[in-house]
Structure 1
Amino acid sequence: MHTDLVAALDVGGTKIAAALVDGDGALLVRAQRPTPAREGAETVMGAVAEVLAELSGSPLWGRATAVGIGSAGPVDASAGTVSPVNVPGWRDFPLVERVGKAVGGLPVELVGDGVAMTAAEHWLGAARGYDNALCMVVSTGVGGGLVLGGELHPGPTGNAGHIGHVSVDLDGAPCPCGSRGCVERIASGPNIARRALEAGWRPGPDGDASAAAVAAAARAGDPVALASFERAAQALAAGIAATAALVEIDIAVIGGGVAGAGDILFAPLRRALQRYATLSFIRQIEVAPAVMGTDAGLVGAAAAAARVGPGGAVAVRG
């Protein structure tokens, strides 16, 4: 049976991945290149063109009806441009137009990587079956996306749900975004590690000073490491509670490297939510770890292009 496929593109600071994705979310053909993040705009586009050329060389390419792109941000879906913080050569780069030309005019849908992860978790992951969800990536940064009324809600520019830049500490430390006390400034991996180091935590003999090393120390009972995760959990809980008060979500799904800390993050997060999510209509929020892993970007980009229909069927436009 020749069912339609969607081509998916996942653009990050480390790798550019592409896949042909079927209506069940299976990745049938994959291609990947390292992101030449320090190079100029055309060199980065060259890597995108290479993965797309690899896909289009597949005998299955003829079944592709649309292309979905999930990109590190900021993105501007209304303009079709991307300006990823970690790819300095791309500023207002017209990625939708360039990809459209490379794939012979197929329709192209662009969303931020947090929205792509959300689309994947809602289609096949921890948010499946929930009509209202906030999904978050807690990693080097903190991103996110929303599902409202059973539909992905990317917003006009593809950035809706960007919880990392909700301020949860009015007089907090300046954030690189220009605001103060943002969730990201407190809860991202590098900030968890920075805070632990500033409070006197010391890495082991291997010199690993990452958030994962802080999590390991917290698991072993180190009070400074535990306190840094407690503070991150508090910031996440405040951001989740604020989001729930605004749009009424049923579940918050958390992925990314920091979520790999498991109960070191989730136990204090659930405790903190009880303190912040106090209104009757937000008391019952569930918190769950993301389950889609490293394929979330590709699966979510495909879902965004196809706009997953009722019951998990892909309703491809085009």
Structure 2
Amino acid sequence: MDHQAVLAVDIGGTKIAAGLVGPDGVVRGHAETATPATEPLIGEALRTLLTSVTAGVRPSAVGLASAGPLDLRRGTVSPVNIPAWRDFPLVELAAAIVPGVPVTLVGDGIAAAVGEHWLGAGRGSASMLGIVVSTGIGGGLVLNGVPYPGPSGNAGHLGHTVVDPAGPSCTCGAAGCVEAHASGPSMVRWARRHGWTGTDARRLAADAGHGDPIALAAFDQGTQALARGIVAAATLCDLDRVVIGGGVSAAGPLLFTPLRRHVERFSTLGFVRRLTVEPAALGRQSGLLGAARSAMLADPAPGRPITA
């Protein structure tokens, strides 16, 4: 591994993944661990993981992708789906584990979008929205070919866009968010309220694939909410592509067929109708690659709030 390798880390509610990424986008030394339930254990798990991945290698930089919200100025994260972390000093911890190199922090949604725009289904798009549909719903924007995390690092949070003010409560404290309708657990809860007896999103997709009417209806109502959020974002940001990854996207046509139909139905303006919706191409590595690419693109000027 040459000295240009970036240590990339992708932190989610169920797993923490890390790897060394070269300028060619190849991930080497990939490793991951389950996300522990308590803050001290998460910190120790991260330390053990990064130490093992970087054994004998000094990376040129560290790129961190984490569920948010983030506080870039302080280098802290408070992921909605990781209750054990509130104002957790993630940048400080990474800088202590890998001292002497710049550390770049980005949201997991923007990381996935950057990865797909760099090497995946977003290549060649002018302005795109990357979406991760899983336990939660994350989002990230690439506008005019440039990642746009926003001043606080939280731009693109599509999952917490309200599409139904009278809808179900969301983990963020609002009601009727896209995530409250269209995440895997949210669709499962909707289906169970309507008589379905399964327990998880994988089973829901399997039953929908076999024609179960309640499971199919769960995907339909979930994709309606997701489509409303997508069309609103496309109208606001003049997008030409949406790329969707995450565990729920593995449902394939069960998700994308009704989603594309609803996006077309809700797209009333001509410039929005050019929007295409595509499945992510990089799978579980989109976040790692986006974290690495974000570190590669980071401005090394002093005072940059996303570096340590």
Is TM (by shorter chain) over 0.5? yes
1:1-318 paired onto structure 2 within 5 Å: 2=2, 4-37=4-37, 39=38, 41-58=39-56, 61-62=57-58, 64-203=59-198, 209-307=199-297
Deviations 1:130-186 (A, max 9, x none): 120011011111111000010111112222111001111122222221212110011
Q: Give the drift of 1:304.
A: 1.2
1:152 to 1:188, Cα distance in 2 relative to 1, 3 A: same
Helix, strand or coil at the partner of 2:216: helix
Q: Check conservation: 1:78, 1:156, Cα contact below 8 A.
A: no
Report the Cα distance in structure 2 between the residues aligned to 1:202 and 1:51, rounded to whole angstroms: 38
Helix, strand or coil at the partner of 1:282: coil
Over the matched positions of the two proteins, sequence identity in percent amounts to: 51
Deviations 1:210-229 (A, max 9, x none): 12222222222222211111
Deviations 1:56-97 (A, max 9, x none): 323xx23x2111000122222222001223433321111112
Deviations 1:269-309 (A, max 9, x none): 11111111110110111010111111122111101111299
What's the TM-score once normalised by structure 1's chain length? 0.89
Report the Cα distance in structure 2 between the residues aligned to 1:2 and 1:46, rounded to whole angstroms: 27
Helix, strand or coil at the partner of 2:125: coil
Report the Cα distance in structure 1 between the residues aligned to 2:74 and 2:4, rounded to whole angstroms: 27
Q: Check conservation: 2:241, 2:278, Cα contact below 8 A.
A: yes
Aligned residues: 301
Report the Cα distance in structure 2 between the residues aligned to 1:98 and 1:215, rounded to whole angstroms: 39
Question: What's the counterpart of residue 313 of structure 1?
Answer: none
Question: Given residue 247 of structure 2, which amino acid in structure 1 is its aligned partner?
Answer: G
Extract unaligned runs of 5+ from structure 1.
204-208, 310-316
Deviations 1:81-126 (A, max 9, x none): 0122343332111111221122112111101111111111111111
1:2 to 1:190, Cα distance in 2 relative to 1, 3 A: closer
1:215 to 1:32, Cα distance in 2 relative to 1, 3 A: closer
The alignment's C-alpha RMSD in Å is 2.0
Report the Cα distance in structure 1 between the residues aligned to 2:272 and 2:257, rounded to whole angstroms: 18
Q: Check conservation: 1:139, 1:189, Cα contact below 8 A.
A: yes
Report the Cα distance in structure 1 between the residues aligned to 2:33 and 2:192, rounded to whole angstroms: 35
Helix, strand or coil at the partner of 2:271: helix
Report the Cα distance in structure 1 between the residues aligned to 2:213 and 2:84, rounded to whole angstroms: 42
Q: Check conservation: 2:80, 2:172, Cα contact below 8 A.
A: no
1:197 to 1:253, Cα distance in 2 relative to 1, 3 A: same
1:33 to 1:215, Cα distance in 2 relative to 1, 3 A: closer
Helix, strand or coil at the partner of 1:79: coil
